[in-house]
Each structure stands twice: as C-alpha cells, then as structure tokens.
Chains A and B, each alone.
Chain A
Amino acid sequence: MQAIPTIEQNEAAVRFDAVTKRFDDVVALNAVSLDVQTGEFLTLLGPSGCGKTTLLKLAAGFLGPDAGAISINGRRVNELPTYQRGIGMMFQNYALFPHMSVADNVAYGLKTRRVPKPERQQRVAEVLALVKLTGMERRMPRQLSGGQQQRVALARALVINPTVLLLDEPFSALDKSLRTSMQVELREIQRKLGLTTIFVTHDQSEALSLSDRVAVMSEGRIRQLGSPVDVYRAPTDQFVATFVGDNNKLRGRLLSVGDSDAVIELGSAQIKVPSERLAKLEKSAPVDLFVRPEQFCVVSANEPSAMTGHVVAQIYQGGHVDLQIECPGASRDRLLVRSAGDQAVVRWPMGATVGVSIQPGGCAAFPAE
C-alpha cells in the first residue's frame, strides 16, 4: 500500500529537521531544527565559527547533512543537487563572473532556465531598475564600485524568482554608511517581493535592525529563536544575553520565587525578574543578573537603595552618553550606563561619585555560572 502524503498545515518555506554536520572531528551543526516561514526575513546570528555558513550551504546544497532532513516548500531536498533547488544565493565576495558583463551576469540564471531572449532582456532590465543599476548593463564587474557589485550580485540572485534568498554576511566588506543604506534597500526589496530570506551575520545590531526573526547560534546549536525584541529583552540563556546587545552582568542573591516573578537582592536594592529560569533554585542562591545599559539610572550618591560608584569614563555619542562606572559593591567589572540626551556630560563628570539604580522590568536573571 502506498503512503498518502500528508499536507502540513503551516508549511515552512525551508525546514531543517535535526540536521547534523561534521567536518572530521568538528561538529559544525549539532541536531539543528529550524523552520523558516514563507516571506519571512530570518537572520542567523552568532560568533565566527558557530556554523552559520554551514547551515546556509546545507540549504543551498553545497554540502550534504550527515543526519537529519532539509526540505524546501515541503519537499525533501537532501539529495537534490544545487542547480535544481531554485535558490538565490549572494556570496560574501559577490562572486560576480569576471568574464561577463553586468547584463550577462544577471541573465545567467535565466539562460540556464531557457527563458526566451525578449523576456530575458525585459526581466534583466526590470531587476536592474529595482537595484538602481539601469545603464550599467555593458560594464564589466571590475569597473564597478563595491556597492555596485553588491547590487549586481543581488539582482542576479533575484531575477530567477528564487524560492528562498540566502545571504552570507553580504555587507561585511562595505563601509558603514554604505552598509546602512544597503541594509535598508535590501529590506525594502525583500518586503516588496515577499521573498523568504535567510541572512547570515555576526553583527548583532545588523541582525536586530533587519530581521523578522533572529536565530542566535553558538557552537553548532541554535540557542534562541525569536523576534529581535524577544532576543534582546528576554534572552533564554547567558550566551544570548551577553552576545546580543550591550549588557551588564551583576551577581545577586535570590530572595523569593513566585509563579511568574522572582525577586533578586542586589546590595540594598530588590529587582523583580521573570521567574521561569530560576524556578529550580533554592532561596538565597546566587544568580547572575543582566541589566541593559539603558535600564540603569544615574542618581545622586546619597539616594537610598542605589549602588554607589564613581564615573571613570564618559563616552559622548551624540544622542546619548555612555558612562563607565566603577561600582565595587555590585560588580568587579565597570558598569556600562547609558544616559539619553547629553545632560550627563555636565551632570556626571569624570570622577564624580554617583548612585546607580535599576529601573524596574526588563532585566534577565539566570542561575549563577
């Protein structure tokens, strides 16, 4: 009897199911499961060597998994060669064919699909207009600037209407202002086309600003998968808390654990945090409390329940001021405190003795490591 294929309800555009990949002794990916929804912009974020590129290469078919299954639009593709997967890929070094003009580069994927010439020319013209490169058709890749090469690479990947767009650290070679404008442009194009996109970066601010969802990776595993706000506000472990955004790590003691909230004692202050990661702890066990720089408040030194310290560095950032405060009672490391506006420059000069308090809500706590 033949099995009747089941149609899943919420079918993912790309699904990794317990995918493992080894290189000799190195386990590059360890039973990674991930669903990328149709039309979503998903970012793989993690430090160098955590397996991001490997995951992307598995989706592209440049590598095969040692265990687990990969499917695209519900179809298992483990054995499907790259050229039959219909993916669009943008490489870190762009990989524009140096012996072909811009137009030929972009038309390459249409030629392999045997698209007739008139339609081909029209689609090339359209996509070049989309990436703002009209008029560059005859140029060779070496005659283009870095940003222009990037656009050609994007156009070449887009023109084939890929089922999924894969980008491996595409902006890491660009300078800051160009990078920002390319990010915005990519996101606009992606939204307009409703394109399922997997984006790889080790830059957490890029991940937070671009993505619908972020998968934070470390050592071949996905540590947390969630919206940028989730991974920033509610990290699920210490790695995510430290890796995503600036964070201060303070050692406190558990005062009480309730159903949803726990209270942590930090010097003379008491801070309420979600209790889910602390449920197994005994009372007065040590905990690591993570406080974002913008959750600190600088107050006058004699304020009760504030930690006392003194300002050791002031970093003026235009829109805000970063203060480094030495607070021996709370942490061996300097506290990074962010103060909106620029009053802090005058109010809390170098060497000033200040009080630091923590605004309620938004802190994360984990059992001490």
Chain B
Amino acid sequence: MIPRSTYQRMLGWIGRITLICIVAFLILPAAVVTIAAFNDKPILSFPPQTWSWRWFARALAYDDFRHGFFNGLIVTAWSSTIALFVGAMFAFAIDRYRFPFKSLIEGILVSPLVIPHFTVGLGFLILAAQVGLSRGFAVVVACHVVLVLPFVLRSIYVSLKNLDQSYELAAASLGATPFRVLTTITVPLLLPGLVSGWLFAAILSFNEFTASLFVTSQRTQTLPVAMYNYVREFADPSMAALSVMYIAGTAALIAFATSFLGLGKVLNIEQTH
C-alpha cells in the first residue's frame, strides 16, 4: 500500500497540474491574440517574426473605432442604467408581492436568455421600421435593455433574497416611512448587488454584437459592429490590438470595482450578511 502522505502528495500534484492546464486553456485565446497584436507585418499571423506597437496606434486613430467606442459608451450607459431601474423594480415586485401570472411574467423577463440575440435584433428592426423610427440610439438602447435585463434582474433578485427583512422591519418600527426605509436601509444594503448588476449589464451591452448588427446604422454603430465591418475589408493586427485594449479596459474596470466593494460582493458569490 502507498503511504498516505505520498498518496496525498500525488493527488496534490495531479490537482495542481490539472488546474494549470485549465487556466492555460482559458487564457490561451487571449494570449494568442495579444501576441499577434504586436506583429509588425500587416497580417494576422502567429507567432510574429518582427514586433511593433503600430497597430495600437492605428486602432486608436481609426475613425470608425473611435466613433464605435463612444457610441458604445452612450448605448451602454443608457441601457444598463435603464435596465438597472427596471430590473430593480421587477426584482422587488417578484420578491415582495404576490400577483397573478407571476411565474409567467418572471419567465418572460428572463426569456432573452433563450431567445437568440439576432431574433431580438431582427424584431426591433422590424418594429422600428413599422412605427417609422429611424435607426437612432433609442432603438439600440431599447434593444440592449431587453438583452441585459435578465442578468440585472437576476443579480438584484439574488441580493434581495439574501437581504434579511428584519432590517427593514426594524427601521419601520423606528418610525421610518417606506421611502426612508428604501433610501437609508434597502438601497445601501443592496448596493453591492446593484453595482454588480450594473457592471455585468454594462460589459454585456458594450460587447454585444449580434443584435447590434441589426439595429445600428452607420451613425450609431457600436465598437463590435465597427470591428466586424473592419474585418470584412482588412485583416491586419489592429483588430488584435483593439482586443488587447478591450481586455485591459474591462480588467481595469473589474479591478476597480473589486477594490472598492470586494470581489465576493461584486460577483455575488458571497452572501451579503
């Protein structure tokens, strides 16, 4: 028989190697793209023979990308903020009240999880044409709200479920009106859930491509759409450079949220109380 300690050490090593393999596999695409971004030649090849930063400069200077970036910010800010309010209201209603067709409404609210994005995009496109709306920001924002709402709803709903109702009852017993309870107790205690919900919505919205392809126009195209239009014409490493900046930006955002609120709370993996 193998002594227990040797056996355990073996298990430990196998575990560690497995872990390293999984992590490597997860970061492999990002790593490949990052390396490809520094290729000096105007082709997407791997590994590069000569190195340069020039595709970063090109990506930053390219007009469509710049517009796409700022359009994306506008759409993301509006859609995730609207989704936050709508989602919070629905999460409250579902958590606190009983009403007819509750489960049906719940089902509809999370249905964008099973409906393909292109269906949602196509739907909004037809709808916008029908009511005579031009393909402006309103349509894009509305479309994104529908797409990110389930995630926001879920995030806030989980936080609400974890929120001990006795805090709110205690505040009411101390003379706080329902509005005061909401502003001084409920919202502050839900803040991590609200922030994480908003953050996920923002990241999803900013990255959304399929539905955006249908509902954006030349004037309102978001960054992923601009990137798609770019690769249809060119195949140089500026795409890869852009990807690297994308990753760095998102990582910075999450790191920021983490250090201010604690990763556990932002990712909602920890019970708040």
Q: Which residues of A contact B (CB under 8 A)?
A: 60-62, 81-89, 91, 93, 95, 97-99, 108-109, 112-113, 156-157, 160, 166
Contact = CB atoms under 8 A, between A and B. Distances in A.
A62 B166 CA distance: 10
A91 B166 CA distance: 7
Interface of B: 164, 166-167, 169-178, 180, 184-185, 188-189, 273
Contact of A95 (B167, B177, B178): B167
Contacts of B177: 83, 112
B200 to A, nearest CB: 23
Contacts of A97: 167, 170-171, 185
Interface of B is mostly: helix
10 contacts: A62-B169, A84-B175, A93-B164, A95-B169, A98-B167, A98-B189, A99-B189, A112-B177, A160-B174, A166-B173
A160 B172 CA distance: 13
Contacts of A88: 173
A93 B170 CA distance: 11
Contacts of B164: 93, 95
Of residues A60, A84, A93, A97, which shows the largest number of chain B Cβ atoms within 10 Å of its Cβ? A97
Contacts of B185: 97
A156 B166 CA distance: 14
Contacts of A89: 169-170, 173
B166 A93 contact: yes
B192 to A, nearest CB: 11
A166 B169 CA distance: 13
A83 B169 CA distance: 9
A198 to B, nearest CB: 13
Nearest to A107: B174
A89 to B, nearest CB: 4
A99 B189 CA distance: 7
Nearest to A114: B175
Contacts of B173: 60, 82-83, 85, 87-89, 157, 166
A83 B167 CA distance: 14
A65 B78 CA distance: 45
B174 A156 contact: yes
Of residues B169, B173, B177, which shows the largest number of chain A Cβ atoms within 10 Å of its Cβ? B173
A62 B175 CA distance: 13
Of residues A89, A112, A160, which shows the largest number of chain B Cβ atoms within 10 Å of its Cβ? A112
Contacts of A86: 175
A166 to B, nearest CB: 8
Given A97-B185, A98-B273, A99-B189, A83 B166 contact: no
A160 B166 contact: no
Contacts of A109: 174-175
Contact of A83 (B175, B188, B189): B175
Nearest to B167: A95
A166 B188 CA distance: 26
Nearest to A85: B173
A35 to B, nearest CB: 22
Given A98-B189, A108-B174, 16 more contacts: A82-B172, A83-B173, A86-B175, A88-B173, A89-B169, A93-B164, A95-B164, A95-B166, A95-B167, A95-B169, A97-B167, A97-B185, A112-B180, A157-B174, A160-B175, A166-B173
A349 B77 CA distance: 83
Contacts of B184: 108
A87 B174 CA distance: 7
Of residues B167, B174, B178, which shows the largest number of chain A Cβ atoms within 10 Å of its Cβ? B174
Contacts of B189: 98-99
Nearest to A142: B273
Contacts of A62: 169, 172
A108 B85 CA distance: 27
A156 B169 CA distance: 13
A123 to B, nearest CB: 13
A108 B180 CA distance: 11
Nearest to A62: B169
B77 to A, nearest CB: 27
A349 B188 CA distance: 65
A103 B172 CA distance: 18
